[in-house]
Amino acid sequence: MKNGIGTSLFFALVSLFSRRMLWLMIWPVVVALVFWGAAAFAVWATTAAWVARQLRAVLDPVAQWVPFDFSGVLLFSAHAMQMLLFIPLVYLTALVILGVFGMDAMVDHVAKRHYPDLVRRHGGGVVGSLWNSLVAVCGLALLFGVTLPLLLIPPLWALVPVAVMGWVNQKVLRYDAIADHATPLEMRQIFSEQRWALYRLGALLALVAYVPLFGLFAPMLFALAFIHFELGALRALRGAPIEGVVVGVTRERERERVIEGVVVRD
């Protein structure tokens, strides 16, 4: 039986409460905050002024009909837009750090406690993980470039980052969550069959990231949730806790125990 999104998040919360997992939850976020905080300190005011000028250029045809100065509103909007981009950059950086330095530990932690009989087929590796991260980063750059004009439209500037980061989140997390256990064929099948569920989980992470304080530590919780979701999906795909052993033995015993034309099932 596979895990739903809610069940995966619940099990992720349970898995979180160990000393090693709590440490992994904290230090990648601190590193990401220090890095992007320094970058923001250096360019925030200059970037906000540039964004305000772009907004003014777009709204100038309308502004001449309005009897008050838009400058304060435009500058506030520029700061708000930067914050909507700053938060995803922080947690995405934390996700990448987790993927590089902590995903193996998280998978081992979850697998030993909740999926001890799930056979490890080692379908992925370091090269696949690096390629997956590269595709995610390039995809983020492409999607950001394509959707950048939409950020100038007030109803969309809050929705576009969530939609984009929903895709990026699931792309970053889904491979490493299952690479140690699944074969390449099983990985492709799960990614295909669970495409929209994985995207919803990624989009939920993008939304939770904006919750004050709690959102900063969401990457760890959702990384564990992806592990629970995909290992549960793999267990359901194989159809038995010990793939290829229990099922094979049971079918063989069924074939042998035919009494008067009726199969007796154990």
Condensed to tens digits (0 to 9), the pLDDT of residues 97-121 reads 888 888 889 999 999 999 999 999 9
Residue 21 has pLDDT above 50, yes or no: yes
pLDDT of residue 251: 46
| Distance separating alpha carbons of residues 120 and 108, to the nearest angstrom | 11
pLDDT of residue 65: 59
pLDDT tens for 136-192 read 889 988 988 888 777 767 777 778 888 998 999 999 899 999 999 999 999 999 999
Residue 193 has pLDDT above 90, yes or no: yes
Written in H, E and C, the secondary structure of 84-108 is HHHHHHHHHHHHHHHHHHCHHHHHH
pLDDT interval class at 74 (50, 70, 90): confident
**How far out from the chain centre does Cα 171 lie?**
7
pLDDT of residue 192: 94
In angstroms, the Cα distances linking 177 to 36, 44, 159, 239 are 26, 35, 27, 19
CB atoms within 10 A of CB 70: 16
In angstroms, the Cα distances linking 141 to 138, 145, 168, 205 are 5, 6, 10, 19
Sign of CA dihedral 212, 175, 235, 121: negative
| Distance separating alpha carbons of residues 224 and 106, to the nearest angstrom | 7
Written in H, E and C, the secondary structure of 10-72 is HHHHHHHCCHHHHHHHHHHHHHHHHHHHHHHHHHHHHHHHHHHHHHHHHHHHHHCCCCCCCHH
Residue 125 has pLDDT above 70, yes or no: yes
| Distance separating alpha carbons of residues 207 and 120, to the nearest angstrom | 33
The structure's pTM equals: 0.75
pLDDT of residue 233: 95
119: helix, strand or coil: coil
Residue 112, domain extent? 5-263
Find tokens 């030993």 and name the residue.
Answer: 112
All residues at 6 or more sequence positions from 115 whose CB lies less than 8 Å from its CB, including other chains: 181, 231, 232, 235
Residue 261 has pLDDT above 60, yes or no: no
61-70, 124-133, 159-168, 169-178: least confidently modelled range:
61-70
pLDDT of residue 167: 93
pLDDT tens for 202-255 read 999 888 888 877 887 888 899 999 999 999 999 999 984 444 444 443 444 444
pLDDT tens for 27-45 read 998 999 999 999 988 888 8
pLDDT of residue 259: 39
Higher pLDDT, 6 or 150: 6
**Mean predicted confidence (pLDDT) in 76-82:** 81
pLDDT of residue 58: 67
Backbone angles phi, psi at 19, to 5 degrees: -60, -45
Domain count, the chain: 1
pLDDT of residue 263: 42
